[in-house]
Amino acid sequence: MLKKYSTYLPDLTQSWILVALLALAGSLFGALVNIILVLIFPGLSGKSELMMYPLIFIPPLIVINKSVRERVAESKITGEQLRSIPIDNPQFGKIGAVATVLLTIPLVFSFNIITEPLSMWMGVPEFFKQFLEQIQTNRLLSFIAVAIFAPVLEEIFCRGIILRGLLTKMDPFKAIFWSALIFGVMHMNPWQALPAFLLGLLMGWIYYKTHSLWIVILIHFINNGFSYLVTVLFPELPPETGFYDLIPGMWYYIAFAMAFVYTGTTIYLMNRNYDTSISFKIQPHS
């Protein structure tokens, strides 16, 4: 299904347009559908918002599909061979897929521990508190939205489409930075945007090194799934609760030190043992 998008390689301007479409047109479209459904089926009130999440991706998807069709039609006329890069083409080098997964799972937690102090001072927006209440009252729909839809759709969009395109237009580190910034902006509030930006840097780098979409989906799933479990299992915890609150006393500083060492060591091993960085650079008419 994703193969037809392998020729769509957006630049930075096109990437921001896609995000604007998602945030504005997508949100409006989802809200309108939600209102209509609630009017028709009043019993869906409070539940339909969670079901509408995938709809925000429809406006940018329409634009992407239109661009792909136009480029295919143009190539048939001109005879030009379209440049193509698969969205998912895993290469795990000497580490291998299994070891990558085993290293990645604790990496998600260790990375979150060491980056948490950068955002723990910010207040939780009111709408997000209401969202957490929805999670507690609609657990199944919330799990599907938070732990399934979000990791799959956001990773296809931010890494599989945007980052893959940016890597053909600019230096890898700039591409990873811009894709992470876009990922943060997509969350549309500072409390989530900064952690999302930092995690986006990690996921972007891993995608660049491995060209694996499913490994960044796994990272996103673990990150969101853990937050979901804490919200559901410990509803009495305040929304701003973090590792600092969950790990008592001196143990937090020990955990922080261990997380710092583990994160640094794992990134070093990955950088050293993946065979080569995937080169997305494409020369004209190649």
> Would 14 be classed as within a structural domain?
no
pLDDT at position 25 over 70 = yes
The whole domain housing 104 covers 87-273
> Would 159 be classed as within a structural domain?
yes
Question: What is the mean pLDDT of the segment spanning 189-200?
Answer: 91
How far apart are alpha carbons 286 and 264 in whole angstroms?
A: 37
How far apart are alpha carbons 69 and 87 in whole angstroms?
A: 18
Tens-digit pLDDT profile for residues 90-113: 999 999 999 999 999 999 999 999
Q: Could you tell me the pTM of the whole model?
A: 0.92
Over its C-alpha atoms, the chain yields an Rg (Å, rounded) of: 20
Give, for 97, the enclosing helix (H) or strand (E): helix 96-115
Please answer whether residues 211 and 91 qualify as being in contact, where contact means their C-beta atoms are separated by less than 8 angstroms.
yes
Using alpha carbons, select from 7, 11, 5 the residue that is nearest to residue 168: 11
> Would 29 be classed as within a structural domain?
no
Higher-confidence position of 226 and 141: 226
**pLDDT of res. 286:** 35
> Would 35 be classed as within a structural domain?
no
Number of compact structural domains in the chain: 1
Using alpha carbons, select from 196, 213, 194, 188 the residue that is nearest to residue 6: 213
DSSP 45-81: TTTHHHHTGGGGGHHHHHHHHHHHHHHHHHHHHH-PP
Give the pLDDT band (50/70/90) at residue 285.
very low
pLDDT at position 81 over 90 = no
> Would 48 be classed as within a structural domain?
no
> Would 190 be classed as within a structural domain?
yes
> Would 46 be classed as within a structural domain?
no
Question: What is the mean pLDDT of the segment spanning 149-166?
Answer: 96
| Candidate from 83-87, 130-134, 137-141 with smallest mean pLDDT | 130-134
> Would 113 be classed as within a structural domain?
yes
